[in-house]
Structure 1
Amino acid sequence: MATPELSEEQRAAALVKATAVRSARRVFKEELARGEMTLQEAIDRAKADEALAGIRVRDLLQCLPGIGPKRAETAMEDIGISQARRIRGLGTHQIDALVEREHR
């Protein structure tokens, strides 16, 4: 499938939208890293915001203090979450398991 041709106005609008999404995700991840919200609050907020819902679960977990790539990968494997899963694709049981694991 070929990429559709966009007008200059459409390209400019897409660029503005992409920049806003990246900025919102950066601020969200920084707040989580500083401990300003719990994992449950972060997931709830992301589920309500389409820009944030596209963040990979692996990246979300790595923003938590004390969680690096290996711990995030292990947690996701233990729960049965694909490494490619995004927040919007998490089920209620997966969310519950992640939050429970955070409290250990």
Structure 2
Amino acid sequence: MSKTCDSHVVPVSRPGKVPQAVPADEPISHRLSVAQVLPTITFPAIGCALYIEGMPLTAIFRLLLGCGGIGVLVTLAVTGGRRLLVALAHGVLALADNR
């Protein structure tokens, strides 16, 4: 619905749902958590330190990818992401079988 006011069409706004206020005792969700930011910073730092100490680059990538994979699997198992975990397992098995 709209009404005309001096040759301009002005939409009539209808009251919608008013958002509920978050109670003071509930935490407000943030976009990034420490668990998301910490590996993003530490994995490259560990890789650089290992490279400076003389570890081959391929071994560093295998180590860090293994650590990241274990972290993903643990997170999925703890949060109950069964479908995603099954999809990841199928992907790993397909990669291992060279399908």
TM-score by length of 1: 0.30
Greater fraction of residues in strand: 2
Greater fraction of residues in helix: 1
- Larger Rg, first or second structure (1 or 2): 2
TM-score by length of 2: 0.31
